Structure 1
Amino acid sequence: MMRLLCTIMAMSFCLLAGLAAWADDTELPHRLIEVPVDHFDDQSGTFDLYVEFAEPFDPNKPTVFFLADGQQFFIRQGSMARHRDRLFSDDMNVVGIVGRGVPDAYPDLAAMVGDDIATADWEMAWTLYRSAQWIEDIETVRRSLMGAQGKVILFGRSGGGALVHEYAAKYGEYVSRAFTAAPALSSMANYTRLPFDRFWAEVEDIAPDAHERFRTLMNDPDIDRHELAVAFQRQNFFVTPDERDAERLRLLTTYEKRDAEMLAEMLTAYQVPQMAAFDAAPISIPSRVRLMEFRLPHVEKWRVEDDKLNPDIENILLSSAPVHDAFLGDVPVAEFSLTPLHELKETQVYILAGAHDHVVDYRGSIALAASYPSSAIFIADDGHTFPAMVDDGSYRDILVAFLMHGLGSEELQQAEAAAALHHYGG
């Protein structure tokens, strides 16, 4: 179960194959909602956005939108009933928007960008797939389902969690409650002056000479630097916090020994070959756009360093490189601002953070929670995908209690008390 959740909830690249077949005549409860191809160009035309429900929509139930961003593909046709059963409650409408970046769902949009990474129109990709478009898609769906003034509940994790807060910064007056797990807003590293990638500092703990050993590897012409970075970045999704140091040392030693059989086994376990296949396929284009957005707040600082390995940063740099290069580094977008969040007095926000999360520093999540007038944060002694809390059900219990009953409710207090063993430091 934990390995499955790690695969599903990993920060990005969740879908490598097996997208559900697209069929207009499906009997699944859904609606097709017309949205502009480009919300910022009145002449761009429209297409039908596929919106699926876990069961037929009931206007008398509270409605939660389960949001995914451009690097997440777990919300697709036929998935919402399963997500409802695993995460939510029968007492709410669970709504999933199949995002505009899913190529099988929207082939006409994909054709506007191209089906080859080497020749793709990256400026068009930025136009169609940047988060500003996804935010307007969400808003169009909200108005269609809830009415002009209707309020919605939001849930998202990692990049989808970041999208929740990005939507709230523009349309928060229509959000009654929002729950995010490990929201990956890279801007928080700048606001809080926290390091985005802590790998180089942490590996000092695995061996006294770890830095020297890594530098030797990085200077070896037979070692693929990109593969090395991907391997150590992906490893984080598949090991628990208490396994992390030992597994990092084992992977480092395996590279040093040139143990091809063991290395292949470990790389396969961490989905490194699958990641290479994903990066080579056009399905990765929306993900690369999203990672460019994560890169933007740090565009003047992040570099691949000759004498230091920063796996999270290097993967973002390499994946977003085509978008960056298309604009010669001058991508026209404003950095996410916390200021609008200060005014959302009627929006309740709950953030679940992992003390051992390598993607999202929990201290940044504390600052994010503090930006809302009405918020709470639970810091778990766990990692990015919260495997321990998922396995014993406390993740779902806290989520449902908050979504259904809100901050200060007896139900939420009981769920938090039952999850106390997972609380960091306590």
Structure 2
Amino acid sequence: MAKNKKKLLITLIILTIITGGLSYLHYDFYKTPKTRIKPNEDYAEMPQDSFHHYINLPIDHNHSTKESFRGFYQLSPNFYKSKNITFLLTDGQMELVSTKTDFQFFENVLRGNSYVLIGVRGHSPTLFPEVYKNKKMDYAKASYLFNSDQQVEDIECVRLNLMKKGILGKDHKINIFGASGAGVLAQQYLSKYGAHVNRVILESTGAPDLSKQFGIKYSPNFEEFNSKGATILNQILAKKSIDKQIISNILYQKGRTDKSPREAQIKILEKLQNGGSLFPYKFKPITNLSILNYMIKPPSEIMARVRWFELVGYDLMKYNSKKETNLLYEFSSKAVSDLLEYHKTNKIPAKEFKINRSEFSGEVLILKGTEDIVFSDEINRKIEQVYPNAKLLFFKDGHRMQNDTEKYIRIRNTFLQQGFKSQEFIKVTNESPN
């Protein structure tokens, strides 16, 4: 009896420690940012050197004389002074640029190029205490300070800083690379500062303003992307009590990351139709909607949610789950539910993108996978049409463009260094000159 009591006591102590530890981790993860480093300080893990640079940026570019925050940018491992410097833009939820950036990811995109990575305002560690009021989110201020228009100005400030430091020649233009949501950011930057840009690569991306103009969804409905998969999904939803948001997230994430998206989605659906379970997907954070929602909802992640809503907000506010199935909008309605509610309750429209493309005379290379679940081929054709000097290349690939990594690196490098009309570009793309 005494031994049993002792075992019970030990078990209770262990459970108490575990519960306390989890509670602390939750508190730490969900705590409201209160401070940030001062304009003359550096992060201990990222001392300044020839590859790591700090820059003081206005918190609000519309009132640039007011307070600033300590931003930073990083140069690629093999960076050298060149008129072919490329700004590799990042954006959205992946938060790939930090004080401890893993450059291997970017080397698989632009290896062999001199490129610049910029720490995104509002992404860790450049958090803004200003967007919280009495420990609660000030959605109006967060939407204003983390608006991508502010980010465009940050990019331009970094370009000017490179010139000030002599890294970029005063008469040299930069190149721009943007994929997915960063491809939209690239188009936003070009619209205002295109005079400073030579060549641009837009990869696996879309255009919210053109989508609205031509009545095309920012991200296509499931039936449009995978008609066979959509048919099976409708049959499953009609017969089984499966959460539509949960299965949509699984299908979307699998489609976004797999080398053969449609085939992978159909395989999941056919297994489910034949009595299979979604249980295995609960162990992967990316396909577990509850974990995804938990990871994106901390106060420190508000910038990611603001940008997420910027891009899908126009469609999301009109989306009717009972009449259609759009994988991205299904789980987005949960992931950015706070911003969706804020806009609907206060009758605030989604961001209005105003992008001028007709005045940019530089070369624009558009790379698109025909099995990209996030963006349609149609909207990419529209992007090609509105830029005066653009070329669209399709590949049998998904959103991540991973089926022939080395070939894509050669294409990107050759274009950025030599342009459309070079014999080398024609050779690597098997394209004929215009």
TM-score scaled by structure 2?
Answer: 0.78
Note if contact 1:22-1:77 (Cα within 8 Å) is conserved in structure 2: no
2:338 maps to 1:322 = yes
Identity percentage over the alignment? 22
What letter is aligned with 2:419?
A: G
1:108-142 alpha-carbon deviations (Å, 9 max, x no partner)? x1x233499x9422222212211111100001111
- What's the counterpart of residue 384 of structure 1? 399
Aligned mates of 2:276, 2:300 — CA distance in 1:
33
Equivalence for 1:364:
379
Q: Which amino acid counterpart does residue 412 of structure 1 have in structure 2? A: F
Of 121, 128, 134, which aligns to 1:100? 121
Structure 1 residues 36-68: Cα deviation after superposition (integer angstroms, max 9, x where no partner) = 011112464001211111248644442111100
Checking the alignment, whether the CA contact within 8 Å between 1:65 and 1:155 is kept in structure 2 is: yes
The RMSD of aligned alpha carbons is: 3.1
Cα separation, partners in 2 of 1:141 and 1:164, compared to 1, 3 Å: same
Residue 122 in 1 paired to residue 139 in 2?
A: yes
State the match for 2:428 in structure 1: 415
1:265/1:212 CA distance change after superposition, 3 Å: closer
The Cα offsets for residues 324-343 of structure 1, whole Å up to 9 and x where unpaired, read as 333435447762234x2111
Q: Structure 1 pair 23/255, CA: closer, same or farther in 2 (3 Å)?
A: farther
Q: Which amino acid aligns with 2:86?
A: V
Match of 1:41 in 2: 63
Q: Kindly indicate whether the alpha-carbon contact (under 8 Å) linking 2:256 and 2:374 is maintained by their aligned counterparts in 1.
A: no
Look up the match of 1:9.
none
Aligned: 1:77 with 2:95: no
3-state SS, counterpart of residue 306 of structure 2: helix
SS of 1:257 mapped into structure 2? coil
Give runs of aligned pairs for residues 133-282 of structure 1, distance below 5 A. Answer: 133-146=150-163, 150-195=172-217, 196-201=219-224, 204-206=227-229, 210-217=233-240, 220=241, 223-241=242-260, 244-245=262-263, 247-251=265-269, 253-254=271-272, 257=275, 259=277, 263-269=278-284, 271-273=286-288, 274-282=291-299
AA in 2 matched with 1:100: R
- Name the residue aligned to 1:406: 419
Whole-Å separation in 2 of the counterparts to 1:387 and 1:135: 28
Per the alignment, in what secondary structure is the counterpart of residue 256 of structure 2? coil
Q: Against the structure 1 CA distance between its residues 137 and 247, is the aligned structure 2 distance closer, same or farther, given a 3 Å change threshold?
A: same
Cα distance in 2 for residues equivalent to 1:334 and 1:282: 21
1:206 & 1:316 partners in 2: Cα distance?
A: 20
TM-score (norm 1): 0.79
Aligned to 1:11: none
Does residue 344 (structure 1) correspond to residue 360 (structure 2)? The answer is: yes
- CA distance in 2 between counterparts of 1:288 and 1:89 reads 30
Letter matched to residue 349 of structure 1? V
Displacement, 1:368?
0.6
In structure 2, list runs of 5 or more residues that go unmatched: 1-28, 30-42, 165-169
Unaligned runs of 5+ in 1: 1-15, 421-426
1:112 and 2:122 aligned? no
Q: What amino acid maps onto 1:379 in structure 2?
A: F
Q: 1:291 aligns with which of 298, 308, 313?
A: 308
Q: Who is 2:12 aligned against?
A: none
Cα distance in 2 for partners of 1:301, 1:189 equals: 14
**C-alpha displacement at 1:99, in angstroms?**
0.8
Q: Could you tell me whether the CA contact under 8 Å between 2:123 and 2:304 is conserved in 1?
A: no
**Contact 1:69/1:131 (<8 A) preserved:** no
Query: What is the SS of the residue equivalent to 2:61?
Result: coil
Partners of 1:312 and 1:211 lie apart in 2 by 16
Q: Distance in 1 between matches of 2:190 and 2:104?
A: 26
1:189 positional shift: 2.6
The more displaced of 155-164 and 23-32 is 23-32
Map of 2:76 onto structure 1: 54
CA distances 1:239-278 after superposition (whole Å, capped 9, x unpaired):
333x62464353464387373xxx2323445722352332
Q: What are the superposed Cα offsets for residues 350-400 of structure 1, whole Å, 9 maximum, x if unpaired?
A: 01011111111122111112211111110111111112122xx11101000
CA distance in 2 between counterparts of 1:96 and 1:246 reads 33
* 1:34 and 1:48 in contact (8 A); partners too: yes
Q: Which amino acid aligns with 2:123?
A: V
Alpha-carbon contact 2:221-2:327 (below 8 Å) kept: no
Whole-angstrom CA distance in 2 between matches of 1:132 and 1:207: 36
